[in-house]
Structure 1
Amino acid sequence: MEIFAVDSHIWAIDHELLGLPGVGVTYVVTGEEIALIETGTALTVPQTLAGLDALGIDRAAVRHILCTHIHMDHAGGSGHLAAALPNAFVYINSSVAEHLVNPTKLMASVRRAVGEEAWPLHGELLPIPAERIRPAEQLYLDLGRDVVLTAIATPGHSPDHLSYLDHKSGGLFIGDAAGLAMDRWGLAFPVTPVPTYDLEAHRATIARLRALDLPRIYLTHYGPHDDVTYQLDRAAERLEELVELVNRALADGDPDIAALAARWVPYPEDGPAGVVARSWTQMSVAGLIRYELKRRQATG
């Protein structure tokens, strides 16, 4: 577990998502009240709680837990954190809130998406009482000391995806809205997962993020970035690379998911992040293939 300062009022706790440093963070936003942004999986919760202890933050002082979307690497720890932080409400797009109340279907879906090799790294969701969940679509959260968080719809990666603007710094917590940039592991690409990925919404979201002229972005995977234009341009370019790769494979009639993923993001199988690289790239190829086949079926 590593903690680092992001801004005068923001800390990041590297909770060793999927068993590795440099893959995922929970952000701690401090005003008169405390908010956490992103929860990691159930298995990261001990590290997040240890980080709060190291920061001297009493668990009863955390009032808000914000998730950008329902995927387990972003919301999978929400029930466990809610149990450990008795005064906190969990905020998520209301369209998927039911999956935090009863996570059975979500866990089955994630298991299919990430594959059996990576599934044991995710743990299990703990149900959250419905009365402790708040809709996040119209979020305006005043934490005091001029720290205000508001929500922006950023669909594509998933239809429920929200990003959170920190008005004090001007930075945006973008979750998976554009792509990941895990510099420690040399991995940078957008994630386009099954089953609800939407390419056109994703393109529109990246364009919207560009138009906001943000001074910095806070990635869940991984950390703060001031080179916003570069990060968004790279995400858009890598996305179009994948689109071209998938369309060519479909035209040839041989969409081998593992082979396409390895061609898109070559990564040594024996590297410490090999499981993550294989899981997320193969999931992305499968998601884009599914999207394209559904689109073609719909348009005849």
Structure 2
Amino acid sequence: MTPSPMRDLGFGIRCIDTLQVRPQMAACYLIERGNDLAFVEAGTSLGVPHLMALLEQLGLARDRVRYVIPTHVHLDHAGGAGALMRELPNAKLVVHPRGARHMVDPTQLIAGATAVYGAEAMARMYGEILPVDESRVIAPADGESLPFGDAALQFIDTPGHARHHFSVWDAQSRGFFTGDTFGLSYREFDSPAGAFVMPTTTPVQFEPDAWRQTLDRYLSFAPQRMFLTHYSVVEDVTRLANDLRAGLARYELIATELAHSQDRHERLLRALTEDVLTAVHAHGSALGDAEIRAVLDADLELNAQGLGVWLDRRAR
């Protein structure tokens, strides 16, 4: 088995491409401190053999992995957790308290995703989704720290994208592992102006007010970098937080203006596409419209769905 592509980010942190859909779409992180290892994000079960091959290539024993830490239970982050835990005899699964039961019994996760994608696409995208024994699950409270190496990792409740979402504060790197709550920042859109970031409003728990509070909480730590699942590390944190705020405001406006449209989903999708094309070009990207859409089409479809769910929930 060929190991996943990997980049050493310093601070004992390696960014690993989980090989989902396309290169540099989704990452997990391997942190090494002293004799302890941890995976932040589990990817899908299809990527687990590549992660095991990477440990072998690096000469890192599987029994050194102390934690597997999905930031939330969406399947591109946690779908492989059960398969990964099966390979790591000493690991504990660390998951948000709202998501823990779905890792112990993933029946609901499987049913929900199958209803959206169909059984064949589910198997192709995510592979087998295995349960995790409850005795191996830790669900830390907001602000709780767990020992790791000669220091600790701290877990912060970070809703906005999902209510079952936490982020991991690593004081050594002065960085957060942010899952999806610091948005999407694909490396294809880097320009002389730096990284580009946009919100991800995937169904079903987009909450813009909570997300703004999460951004405030991030900045209260004065972080120097953010480790995103989609994709890799970004710096210039304050600018990117402000860009995310602006993006959230635009998304709310777009959704509100189209709330009562007959063909609401199609119009939301067109408006979000126009918004991101304008924003990426303004950021100085050299990519053409077709290239931008090739990277973002799947995300834009999910964002349109998520805004639709948000509108429906507000209307009740």
Please give the root-mean-square deviation of Cα atoms over the aligned residues, in Å: 2.6
Q: CA deviation at 1:113?
A: 5.2
Match of 1:259 among 270, 288, 300: 270
> Within 2, Cα distance between the matches of 1:123 and 1:260?
33
Counterpart in the other structure of 2:88: 85
Q: CA deviation at 1:132?
A: 1.2
Is the CA contact 2:106–2:130 (under 8 Å) kept in the aligned structure 1? yes
Per the normalisation by structure 1, the TM-score is 0.88
Q: Identify which range, 73-82 or 238-247, moves more after superposition.
A: 238-247
Distance verdict in 2 for CA 1:172–1:226, change over 3 Å: same
Mapped pair 1:218 → 2:233: no
Per the normalisation by structure 2, the TM-score is 0.84
Distance verdict in 2 for CA 1:185–1:215, change over 3 Å: closer
Q: Which runs of 5+ in 2 are unaligned?
A: 191-195, 278-286
Counterpart in the other structure of 2:167: 163
Q: CA deviation at 1:164?
A: 0.4
SS state at 2:94 partner: strand
Amino acid at match of 1:209: Y
Distance verdict in 2 for CA 1:123–1:268, change over 3 Å: farther
Distance verdict in 2 for CA 1:224–1:52, change over 3 Å: same
Q: CA deviation at 1:211?
A: 3.2
Q: CA deviation at 1:269?
A: 9.5
> Within 2, Cα distance between the matches of 1:177 and 1:196?
12
Q: CA deviation at 1:277?
A: 2.4
> Within 1, Cα distance between the matches of 2:258 and 2:72?
30
Is the CA contact 2:160–2:209 (under 8 Å) kept in the aligned structure 1? yes
Is the CA contact 1:70–1:160 (under 8 Å) kept in the aligned structure 2? yes
Match of 1:53 among 42, 51, 56: 56
Match of 1:151 among 140, 150, 155: 155
SS state at 2:264 partner: coil
Q: Kindly report which structure 2 residues correspond to 1:38-49, keeping only aligned pairs within 5 A, or say none.
A: 38-49=41-52
Q: Kindly report which structure 2 residues correspond to 1:112-151, keeping only aligned pairs within 5 A, or say none.
A: 112=115, 119=122, 120-138=124-142, 139-145=144-150, 147-151=151-155
SS state at 2:168 partner: strand
Q: Kindly report which structure 2 residues correspond to 1:281-292, keeping only aligned pairs within 5 A, or say none.
A: 281-292=300-311
Counterpart in the other structure of 1:193: 202
Counterpart in the other structure of 1:30: 32
Mapped pair 1:101 → 2:104: yes
Q: CA deviation at 1:261?
A: 4.0
Match of 1:249 among 249, 252, 258: 258
Deviation digits for residues 168-210 of structure 1 (CA, Å, limit 9, x no counterpart):
1211111111201011367742111212222221122123223
Amino acid at match of 2:91: A
> Within 2, Cα distance between the matches of 1:115 and 1:220?
25
Q: Which runs of 5+ in 1 are unaligned?
A: none
Q: Identify which range, 264-273 or 234-243, moves more after superposition.
A: 264-273
Distance verdict in 2 for CA 1:49–1:264, change over 3 Å: farther
SS state at 2:185 partner: strand
SS state at 1:207 partner: helix
Mapped pair 1:14 → 2:14: no
